[in-house]
Amino acid sequence: MICIPVMEPTQREALRAAAKSAVLADVIELRMDWIADGDVSELISAARRASAGVKVIVTCRRREEFLLAQENLPALPAKERTGAAKMKLLEKAVLSGADFIDIELAEGARAISRMRSLCHKRPNPARLIVSWHDPFKTPSLNGLKKIFDACVQAGADIVKMVPYARSLSDNAAVLSLMDYAKDQGREIIAMCMGEKGQISRILAPSRGSFLGFAVLPGGRPSAPGQLTLREMRAFQKLLSGRQRFFEPPQGDLHFVLLGNPVRQSLSPLMHQAAFRTMGINASYSAFCVTDLAAAVAGIRAMNIQGASVTIPFKTAVMDFLDEIDADAAAVGAVNTIVNDHGRLIGHNTDWSALMDALREETQLKGKKFIILGAGGTARAAAYGITKEGGRPIIVNRTPEKGRKLADRFDCPFYPLMEIGKVRAFGLINTTPVGMFPDSHSSPVDSSILNGFRIVADVIYNPLKTGLIRDAEAKGCRVVPGLEMFVRQGARQLNLWTGRKAPLAVMRNAVRERLMRHEF
Ligand code: NAP
């Protein structure tokens, strides 16, 4: 199992991180020593709401047991909780349904024994982790065994031991300690901190460590040397022999599109054209879905190798998958499912496709882009622009929705009526305004387009929207929606087959069909 620590400086940020991590990890650890104004019951409820199956560890670590010399750490709360306050907090965590309570060996026999009684008194008992950390060194194997024995004696259901690796051989001592625990039929969480300890983090879960720890990309590590969730999952697969470096699927392949409605979708046409060119014997069919749970169960039962997901299921589908790629989790939407030997993994290719299309025309780093709209596609655009080092500015018709998205990406917001006041390098329309049959409408007055060097539209039917025509007339560089559409499909094909998709073939197939529709 993989655990993501939540160690944000405020309750608000911690609630967000707990919900996000709960979807991705098997276990989350609430580090109440960092969450200054933390309400532990509220945090546990937020994690459970995000994922019913996630397990929650609650701990409130002593300062001397972790390194203060790490980079990237938020400011510690000015005051460390007293021993009594810590006990009160952990007691509240037990009563609020935490699955595990982690208390340090250094808290002393009385405190540990009290906590153990409380954990075990509950009808569905919480399990007690007795932990020990040394942020400076790794003792000898004998020294580690003595500490392990002390944790067991103190009443641990699970022992956690994390010393700092100064040399690679320190990893060997910790891995041997796991054999010692196994011989006694005891559960242990063990690994080394620090750059030189990374190998123990990779090997620990496969050597019997009850948990491995990982950090979300862009998240804060709770200990030096921690790997990202993606790295940990990749190593786990590799060590369990499930990793496909490139193992092309064999035999007839089947892919589906899940949406409602799907009648107008051009994805089947585009993907079938690509499969023909790639010489892959595959079917791609669109399904108008009314019961999403049943549709995903069907993918598993019929061993469908992959699926595209479209409106209105891009967010809802996340609850039915086994794993969500970190980018898709950050966007909050999945438009692609990969069936990796029975494990359904959700990805999002919308944001990267839009960035690919924009990058064909300009560099994005340091540039301001107005994002028109505040729905799912706007979120994908804001995520992509931020990730590329650009600066999004949200402009939306409904201020509450626009402000909420702007808060999420910590960027400015303007109501649609005030768009004329905003200066930016580019404009990206993510609203449906201008979509066939309303092909002559534009979401903004053409007079404001003089101010932009580049204008992108996500609408691809018609091929040239009113906005794109107006922008061309003003001399702006343009990125029509077709470019995003074919690239999100090409990235899907790449995820499903491991091969590069024939972009030009896909573009021509869609363009020809749209031209026939229009004229
Ligand atoms: P969504 O979640 O419903 O969001 C739509 C946004 O557009 C909302 O913020 C809404 O504003 C705004 N909007 C709607 N009608 C408006 C109007 N008349 N005037 C001003 N603003 C208006 O939709 P979505 O999932 O983001 O999809 C948006 C579009 O992107 C769709 O047309 C979809 O087909 C297209 N798309 C294209 C691609 C591609 O590959 N090219 C990929 C994905 C999506 P309020 O907040 O005020 O309601």
Inter-residue contact 29 to 4 (CB < 8 Å): yes
Residues 252, 202 share a domain: no
Q: Which one-letter DSSP state was computed for residue 332?
A: T
For ligand 1, atom 43, name the residue with the nearest CA. Answer: 377
**Cα 92 to ligand 1 centre (Å):** 44
Give me the CATH number covering residue 373.
3.40.50.720
Looking at per-residue confidence, does 29 or 200 come out higher?
29
Phi and psi of 84, rounded to 5°?
Answer: -65, -40
Inter-residue contact 385 to 365 (CB < 8 Å): no
- The predicted structure's pLDDT at residue 169: 81
Query: Taking the alpha carbons of 314, 316, 320, 321 in that order, is the dihedral positive or negative?
Result: positive
What value does the mean pLDDT of the chain take? 89
Task: Please report the atom of ligand 1 found closest to the CA of residue 483.
Answer: 41
Cα(206)–Cα(308) distance, rounded to whole angstroms? Answer: 33
- The predicted structure's pLDDT at residue 167: 83
**Cα 37 to ligand 1 centre (Å):** 37
Q: Is residue 486 in some structural domain?
A: no
**Cα 129 to ligand 1 centre (Å):** 48
Catalytic option among 86, 160, 196, 314: 314
294-317 pLDDT, tens digit per residue, is: 889 888 877 789 999 999 999 999
Q: Decide if pLDDT at 519 tops 50.
A: no
User: What tokens were used for 283?
Assistant: 């079917």
**Cα 435 to ligand 1 centre (Å):** 10
Task: Please report the atom of ligand 1 found closest to the CA of residue 435.
Answer: 32
Domain endpoint, select from 189, 208, 240 = 240
Residues 161, 134 share a domain: yes
For ligand 1, atom 34, name the residue with the nearest CA. Answer: 459
134-146 pLDDT, tens digit per residue, is: 988 999 999 999 9
Identity of the highest mean pLDDT range in 184-193, 279-288, 397-406:
397-406
Task: Please report the atom of ligand 1 found closest to the CA of residue 460.
Answer: 41
Q: Is residue 496 in some structural domain?
A: no
10-41 pLDDT, tens digit per residue, is: 899 999 989 888 878 889 999 998 887 889 99
Identity of the highest mean pLDDT range in 199-203, 258-262, 397-401:
397-401
Domain count of the fold of the chain: 3
**Cα 205 to ligand 1 centre (Å):** 43
Inter-residue contact 245 to 237 (CB < 8 Å): no
Q: Which one-letter DSSP state was computed for residue 80?
A: P
Cα(150)–Cα(159) distance, rounded to whole angstroms? Answer: 10
Residues 157, 98 share a domain: yes
Residues 85, 24 share a domain: yes
Residues 253, 375 share a domain: no
Tell me the H-state helices in 222-360.
229-239, 267-278, 292-301, 326-331, 350-359
Q: Is residue 495 in some structural domain?
A: no
Give me the CATH number covering residue 213.
3.20.20.70
Task: Please report the atom of ligand 1 found closest to the CA of residue 373.
Answer: 9
Inter-residue contact 155 to 113 (CB < 8 Å): yes
Domain endpoint, select from 224, 240, 256 = 240
Instruction: Work out the average pLDDT over 458-467.
Output: 96
Inter-residue contact 130 to 156 (CB < 8 Å): yes
Residues 259, 156 share a domain: no
- The predicted structure's pLDDT at residue 461: 93
Cα(464)–Cα(468) distance, rounded to whole angstroms? Answer: 6
Q: How many residues does the chain have?
A: 519
Residue where the block lists tokens 């014997």: 281
Residue where the block lists tokens 């967000």: 16
Tell which one of 334, 395, 396, 430 to mutate to probe ligand 1, the residue whose CB is within 8 A of the most ligand atoms.
Answer: 430
Looking at per-residue confidence, does 423 or 216 come out higher?
423
Q: Is residue 472 in some structural domain?
A: yes
Cα(172)–Cα(297) distance, rounded to whole angstroms? Answer: 43
Cα(493)–Cα(282) distance, rounded to whole angstroms? Answer: 11
Task: Please report the atom of ligand 1 found closest to the CA of residue 416.
Answer: 20
Cα(155)–Cα(116) distance, rounded to whole angstroms? Answer: 7
Inter-residue contact 210 to 26 (CB < 8 Å): no
**Cα 46 to ligand 1 centre (Å):** 28
231-251 pLDDT, tens digit per residue, is: 777 776 666 554 333 344 455
- The predicted structure's pLDDT at residue 254: 87
Instruction: Work out the average pLDDT over 323-351.
Output: 94
Inter-residue contact 232 to 211 (CB < 8 Å): no
Percent of the chain with pLDDT over 70: 92
153-184 pLDDT, tens digit per residue, is: 999 999 999 999 888 788 889 999 999 998 88
Inter-residue contact 347 to 328 (CB < 8 Å): yes
Instruction: Work out the average pLDDT over 354-361.
Output: 97
For ligand 1, atom 17, name the residue with the nearest CA. Answer: 433
- The predicted structure's pLDDT at residue 245: 36
Cα(14)–Cα(12) distance, rounded to whole angstroms? Answer: 5
**Domain range for residue 506?**
245-348+502-513
Q: Is residue 436 in some structural domain?
A: yes
Instruction: Work out the average pLDDT over 49-70.
Output: 78
For ligand 1, atom 22, name the residue with the nearest CA. Answer: 431
Residues 172, 115 share a domain: yes
Residues 184, 66 share a domain: yes
Task: Please report the atom of ligand 1 found closest to the CA of residue 481.
Answer: 41
Identify whether 368 is a catalytic site residue. no
Helix (H) or strand (E) holding 39: none
For ligand 1, atom 18, name the residue with the nearest CA. Answer: 433
Domain endpoint, select from 240, 257, 284 = 240
Inter-residue contact 119 to 94 (CB < 8 Å): yes
Residues 369, 322 share a domain: no
Give the rounded distance of the alpha carbon of 393 from its chain centre.
Answer: 23
Residues 132, 221 share a domain: yes
- Fill in the amino acid letter for 250: Q
- Fill in the amino acid letter for 335: N
Give me the CATH number covering residue 306.
3.40.50.10860
Q: Is residue 224 in some structural domain?
A: yes
Residues 170, 216 share a domain: yes
Q: Decide if pLDDT at 75 tops 60.
A: no
Instruction: Work out the average pLDDT over 52-64.
Output: 87
Percent of the chain with pLDDT over 90: 67
Q: Is residue 145 in some structural domain?
A: yes
Give residue 194's region: left, alpha or beta (phi > 0; psi -120 to 50). left
Residue where the block lists tokens 């040397």: 225
Residues 229, 208 share a domain: yes
| Residues framing ligand 1 (Cβ under 6 A) | 311, 350, 373-378, 396-398, 401, 430-433, 435, 443, 458-460, 481, 484-485, 488
Q: Is residue 489 in some structural domain?
A: no
**Cα 373 to ligand 1 centre (Å):** 6
**Cα 397 to ligand 1 centre (Å):** 11
Name the band, by pLDDT with cuts 50, 70 and 90, for residue 214: confident
Longest CA–CA span in the chain (Å) reads 82
Torsion angle (degrees, nearest 10) of CA 399, 347, 299, 514: 70
